Structure 1
Amino acid sequence: IAQDLRTAQEHEQRLHTALEAAAYRVREQRALADLSGLAVDGDLDHVLVAAADAAAALVGVNCASVARAEEPGGALRVLAYRGQPPVPETFAPGTDSQPGYAAATDQIIICPDRYGEHRFSTEAMNTRGLRSGVCVPIGADTVWGVLTAHSARPRDYSDREVMFLRSVTAVLAAAIRRIEAEDALRHLSLHDSLTGLPNRALAHQQIDAALDAARGSGRTVAALLIDLDEFKTLNDRLGHAVGDDALIRLAEQLQSVVHPTDTVARIGGDEFLIVCPDTTSVEEAIALATRITELHIGADSAGRELRFTASVGIALARSDETRDTLIQRADAAMYEAKTTGSGHALAP
């Protein structure tokens, strides 16, 4: 009996290759399943880090990253990174880097070896000690960003590895669409659709947060409630389109006279609320109210002057103040200002 050992060795090698391929597919599927789970309910930071982890581990590279193109033609900011230092903060746009080139062309860009590469600059790769890499754009209609895998040695990237990176970017794109849709819905639920200002719900959240932060800190929270005295007359006389334009302009002007930490909210048709989380004195609150009553809207697109006055009620939070009592006191002061025609009034 004779047995050809070469055939047995070849058979054993094929078996080992098949087992390794099966194990790799299992790791791929597990990584994609874990990433898909995060894509359903995870926040963006965790999803991006998981994507970089998966790319670095499964493709077997020295580093992997996810970078976002924050504006067309601009640099890509690195949001997640796994691998050898140094950690890049940005990738140059266009032909100045491999990720920039992938974003600009919206194509998968494979670089087996930076030596001999002429499509884009490899200076950044050289600085970081990298020789090869593959970049896959993220996004469908427009490029949101780029998933990058870089290696310190020259190498070819197999179709399977590129397909895995494409699968990762597909999961990323789905997660980004879900997160952006949730953010848009959340913004709509907390902002006025006409002026873009925070609405009543968000203003209440800001008051609660300000009162909590002020307790025991010595800070004073002020609430200014603003009501436009002649707005209904203007609306009836010139039409709702002109009235809406006036409200938009007023919202912009109100934001221009407050501190960056203050919140300007539209809480009704012609009512606005300003939350000041750190007011230094009664005089400061009164000075703000005075600036508000002196605002001038100007003329509309037809050249007609838009004139109306505002009544401002001011309430400074007491030590035991709640959101409801603070707003009620500001409301009472506002009606006092409206009744007396003084422009503004301070709640006792």
Structure 2
Amino acid sequence: MAQERPDLFELLNLAVTVTDFRTGRLRRANAAACALLGRSEVELVGTHWQDVAAPEERALWNKEIHRPGQRNPPLRRLIRLRRPDHSTVHVLVTSATVPGPAGREILSQLQDVSDEITANDRLRLILDNTPVSMFLVDRSGFVLASEGLMDATLSRLAEHPDVSVFTLFEDLPDAVGLLQDALAGRPLHHVIEAFGRCFDLHLAPISGPDGEVSYLTCVATDVTEHQQALATLRTRSIEQTLVADLGQQALEGLDATTMWTRAAQMLAEHLGGAAVRIHELDDAGQRTRTLADVSPADVTSADGAQAGVGRSEGTWCTPQLPAATVTNGHNLVVATGRGDRPSAVVEVSRPPPGPAFSEQDAQFVRSVGAVLGAAAMRFRMEDEIRRQSLHDGLTGLPNRTALLDRLDRALRRARGDGTRIGVLFIDLDGFKTVNDTLGHQAGDNLLRLTAQRLEHAVRPADVVGRLSGDEFAVLCEDIDSPTAIEAIADRVLATLDTPCVLGERTVLLSASVGIALSEPETADGEDLLNAADIAMYAAKRRGPGRRLAFDEAMRTRLLAQITDNDELRRVLSDDELVMRYQPIHDIDRGLAGVEALPYWLHPHRGLVPPAQFLPDPAHAGLRVPIDRWAVGRACRAAARWEDERGDGAPPPLLNVTVSSRCLVEDRFISELDLLLSATGAEVRYRLCLQIAEREVADDEPALLAAFGELCRLGVDLCIGDYGSALTTAAAMNQVPFRYIRFSGIYVDGVDRSPVHHAAAGALLHFAHELGIRTMAGDVTTSSQLNTLRAMRCDLFLGPVIGPSTARLPRLPRLPRLTGREDAQGTHR
């Protein structure tokens, strides 16, 4: 047996060593063992196992493998041995004590398991360092095996190995429920939350031979970061949708108040338990009014219940911050609008114990603030456009559109309340003169001053508007009688009559006011305003500074005038105009001349006097051709005047009324020069052109130049209807007027009324002091004639003097006038 043993020892492919039991030294090592340990048998024999073992396991080797004096059963142990090249080999040592030639020996089989150990270590490394945990659970809920990183789970299992998972994890009902469902035979895949983390859980039941589930494999993957990323993505998607919806709502025309409220509610709901306030900012960045104020209690949750948190009165951030900022984690503020001039500030507060705001929350508030800022700028621009469209840019008063809108609404209220609406239509007298003489800047200042005066003159609830040019209107509600609206009109006239200073000039201003009062059936504000407009023009025709209430007869006359104007466009071509001559007597009852008057020989109405058909001078297209025709016809007739006066007698007066527009018409002066020469004006007659005082008051440069040219041609000038306008002494001083014709209001009652008598006397004295001859028109009674003659009026005409005729009257021999009464007159 001793002779066969070495052969067998050497022939074994297994690594085998023999160790002396008593000394613990190696006595033999076959070739396989030498290859495993990286040493020759010579190097190994006589060494201790501690010499080839890894240093940290030498004591273990000595204790477990070498046990002198004991008879040990076979022992299996995994140890690490060190090679001369310092590499380590994992060896599974199976040792047994056997008898040998020199006593007991330790026979050891060495099995290299380095690859297995390495693979196992790598697997362990993977399991220990990946978010995957694996468990094997039996039907009773006991964990038979577990691997992975679920430290909280593993620590519970390690501390309580004899407790079922159904009891051990009863604080995680969702997870226990899934385990029970899987043990019922259903494979499951679910994401759960546990220990503050998120896990993707795969449960697979394993059936036994009887077909019943015996075991359950669980693979849990830590997907916390993934779930957080998904949650963040979902939150951002929701926030982007909310911001987009808010932007869409702002673009679709929500009013600003609704937009602010919706934005505040959206922020409060999305940020959960937050209170939101939005304040308007002034130019200095200070809060003014509150645009929206939403507390958690104002926000309805998804199930329709109100949030349980009461209104927060916490500390709010200061608004002087350009972008959203976290303050102590529980307050956010963002300014909206332009960066250099924010228009509002959004303030969000969620005091403890609510969670602090995250950077994502701050970004959301910034996005909402950006939308609100853009929308606020849009609303501001729209408000400005709307304001400009409804307000006059010069005075800031409501314009015609806005005034008509208010008037229509007031009429609807009045019909419901049974009240009446009054409208004043106001037109300034002489405004064009201010514009032409002082400049448009002065005119603009006058319009602004007029607007201020009107607002002070009317009642606080009345609405003053500017219609166009120098036209204004006043809307007066709750008018109980015509007297009430007339009182307002009188205050307007008195206020505007106050002198005003424009630059260094004092200007006297007056206005004409038309009054219209609604009836129960009045429904259209435009009709009521037009009625006041018609009344204003009727008042202006009576003279400046007057008011007149509308009546339907005015509308009838206006419609007739419009019809007449249409017909007047053809009268010249159809020879429907004829001339009539009104005699003019002097103070000695002699015939001093005639007034030439154009009449309309209407095919249906007969002979129409000029007062009933002549267009307003403003309608130059109709009036000027008639004026030119009248001057031409009168001068050519006067050239054939039968004159029985002796030589040296002054030529008789030929008075023709014309408009100022005619005098400044192109070629009028040059054509008149030719006409006067052709008709022998210096010998046969003396032409006097009469211009209404209200037109002389316009005092425009072109008209003053025309006056000078007319005087150069030897044409006399007469102010007609004197005393009805505001011709000042300065204007009289600029124009060489030869005659003044009193307005009819001074003639009527001059023989009965001390006031009229005094007024007429003052005008006569004024004219005579200037060397101007006076003419009284419309003298209807002998008493008037005698009174005026006693007051030394120079010329007279009217029904009491004589009727108008189709032919010029025969001129009797007249005495030559001397001194002040000389035909040439004495001028200033």
1:108, 1:30 → 2: CA distance?
Answer: 20
Deviates more, 1:137-146 or 1:309-318: 137-146
**Residue in structure 1 matching 2:534, options 317, 332, 337:** 332
2:258 to 38, 46, 59: 46
1:101-137 Cα deviation digits (max 9, x unpaired): 2x23545443226xxxxxxxxxxxxxxxxxx311111
Is contact 2:350-2:356 (8 Å) kept? no
- Structure 2 counterpart of 1:148: 347
CA-to-aligned-CA distance 1:114-173 (integer Å, 9 cap, x gap): xxxxxxxxxxxxxxxxxx311111222212121111113165322211111111000001
Report Cα offsets for 1:154-196 as digits up to 9, x if no partner.
Answer: 6532221111111100000110111111111111111111111
- Distance of aligned partners of 1:168 and 1:205 in 2 relative to their CA distance in 1, 3 Å threshold: same
Aligned with 1:136 (options 331, 334, 345): 334
Deviation at 1:245?
Answer: 0.4
Distance 1:258 1:32, change over 3 A: same
Structure 1 contact 76–145 (Cα < 8 Å) conserved: no
Q: 2:501 aligns with which of 295, 299, 306?
A: 299
| Count of residues in Structure 1 that have an aligned counterpart in Structure 2 | 321
Q: Does 1:347 align with 2:550?
A: yes
Q: Does 1:224 align with 2:424?
A: yes
Q: Mark the CA change 1:195 to 1:37 in structure 2 (over 3 Å): closer, same or farther.
A: same
Compared with structure 1, are the counterparts of its residues 88 and 5 closer, same or farther at alpha carbon in structure 2 (3 Å cutoff)?
closer
Written as runs of structure 1 = structure 2, the 5 A alignment for 1:147-186 is: 147-153=346-352, 155-186=355-386
Q: CA deviation at 1:88?
A: 8.9
- TM-score, normalised by the number of residues in structure 2: 0.37
CA contact (8 A) 2:424 2:513 kept: yes
2:510 corresponding residue in structure 1: 309
| SS class of match (1:193) | coil
Judged with a 3 Å threshold, the aligned counterparts in structure 2 of structure 1 residues 226 and 146 are, in CA distance, closer, same or farther, namely: same
Report SS of the residue matched to 1:319: coil
Give yes or no for the alignment of 1:82 onto 2:285: no
Give the structure with the higher percent helix: 1
- Kindly report which structure 2 residues correspond to 1:249-264, keeping only aligned pairs within 5 A, or say none: 249-264=449-464
SS at match of 2:521: coil
Number of the residue aligned with 1:319 = 520
- Please point out which of 443, 451, 467 is paired with 1:243: 443
> Does 2:149 match 1:6?
yes
In the alignment, is the contact (CA less than 8 A) between 1:224 and 1:315 conserved in 2?
yes
**Aligned residue identity for 1:344:** R
Structure 1 residue aligned with 2:400: 200
Deviations 1:30-64 (A, max 9, x none): 11111111121222122212221222233334311
Query: Alignment partner of 1:220: what SS?
Result: coil
Tell which has more relative contact order, 1 or 2 (C-alpha 8 A, sep 6+): 1
Report if aligned partners of 1:112, 1:157 keep a CA contact under 8 Å in 2: no
CA distance in 2, matches of 1:283, 1:88: 59
- TM (normalized to structure 1)? 0.85
Write the distance in 2 (CA, Å) between the matches of 1:198 and 1:225.
14
SS in 1 for 2:280: strand
Question: What is the DSSP-based 3-state SS (H/G/I as helix, E as strand, rest coil) of the residue aligned with 1:157?
Answer: coil
Q: Which residue number in structure 2 is paired with residue 213 of structure 1?
A: 413
Looking at structure 2, the residues matched to 201 and 323 of structure 1 have their Cα atoms a distance apart, in angstroms, of 11
Question: Mean alpha-carbon deviation: is it higher for 49-58 or for 104-113?
Answer: 104-113
2:316 touches 2:349 (CA, 8 Å); kept in 1?
no
What is the letter of the counterpart of residue 138 of structure 1? T
Cα distance between partner residues in 2 of 1:87 and 1:159: 24
Q: CA offsets per residue over residues 283-316 of structure 1, 9 Å max, x none?
A: 221111111111225102x321122210101111
1: CA distance, partners of 2:286 / 2:378: 25
What is the identity, as a one-letter code, of the residue corresponding to 1:346?
A: A
> What residue identity is the alignment partner of 1:312?
V
- Percent identical across equivalent pairs? 33
Q: What is the alpha-carbon distance in structure 2 between the residues aligned to residue 87 and residue 242 of structure 1?
A: 58
Q: How far apart are residue 337 of structure 1 and its match?
A: 1.6
Provide the rounded CA distance (Å) in 1 between the counterparts of 2:471 and 2:226.
76
**Pairwise CA distance, 1:280:** 2.8
Aligned to 1:111: 327
Partners in 1 of 2:239 and 2:472 — Cα distance?
Answer: 54
- Find the aligned partners of 1:153 and 1:54 in 2 and give their Cα distance: 21
Gaps of 5+ in 2: 1-122, 128-133, 135-146, 151-198, 200-219, 298-309, 552-828
Cα distance 1:297–1:164, how it changes in 2: closer, same or farther (>3 A)? farther
Name the counterpart of 1:59.
271
Q: Is the contact made by 2:458 and 2:491 (CA closer than 8 Å) also made in structure 1?
A: no
- Residue 39 of structure 1 aligns to a residue in which SS? helix
Q: 1:36 corresponds to which residue?
A: 247
Letter of the 1:284 counterpart: A
TM-fit CA distance, 1:317: 0.4
Residue matched to 1:25: 236
The 1-side partners of 2:272 and 2:279 are apart by: 19
Q: Distance in 1 between matches of 2:500 and 2:323?
A: 51
Query: The residue matched to 2:451 in structure 1 has which SS?
Result: helix
Give the Å deviation of 1:70. 4.2
- Secondary structure in 2 matching 1:135: strand
2: CA distance between counterparts of 1:289 and 1:240? 27
Does the 8 Å contact 1:39/1:174 carry over to 2?
no
Is 1:69 aligned to 2:281, yes or no?
yes
CA distance in 2, matches of 1:34, 1:216: 42
* Structure index of larger Rg: 2
CA spacing shift, 1:158–1:297, aligned 2, 3 Å: farther
Other structure's SS at 1:267 match? strand
SS at match of 1:29: helix
More strand by percentage: 2
Tell me which amino acid in the other structure corresponds to 2:326: I
Question: Residues 203 and 345 from structure 1, CA distance in 2 versus in 1: closer, same or farther, beyond 3 angstroms?
Answer: same
